[in-house]
Amino acid sequence: MRLDKWLWHARFFKTRSLAQRYVEKARCRLDGRVTDKPHATVAPGMVLTFALGPKVRVVRILALGERRGPAPEARTLYDEIEGV
């Protein structure tokens, strides 16, 4: 699944286009590698690090998700590792 689509499914962004622009301009890391490609492939088990507001989010991707569901469903897609 594409990184921007996963961020949208996990409800970190309100729209997929916002997620796409964020990945292009911000420094996201997938398993420690910097990426600016919204089409970067994500899979369960990968670690995603990105700054969102004043916090740095470090999450382990647990599932890809079929749709952008309600917040409790979106929360099952990832596990928060730490927050700075």
User: Which CATH number is 18's domain given?
Assistant: 3.10.290.10
Q: How many domains does the chain have?
A: 1
Distance CA 18, CA 52 (A): 12
Q: Using alpha carbons, select from 42, 48, 54 the residue that is nearest to residue 80.
A: 48
Q: What six digits make up the tokens of 7?
A: 């961020």
pLDDT in tens, 4-39: 999 999 999 999 999 999 999 988 999 999 999 999
pLDDT in tens, 47-79: 999 998 888 999 999 999 999 999 999 999 999
The widest CA-to-CA distance across the chain, in whole angstroms, is: 30
Distance CA 14, CA 35 (A): 21
Look up the domain containing 47 and give its range: 3-83
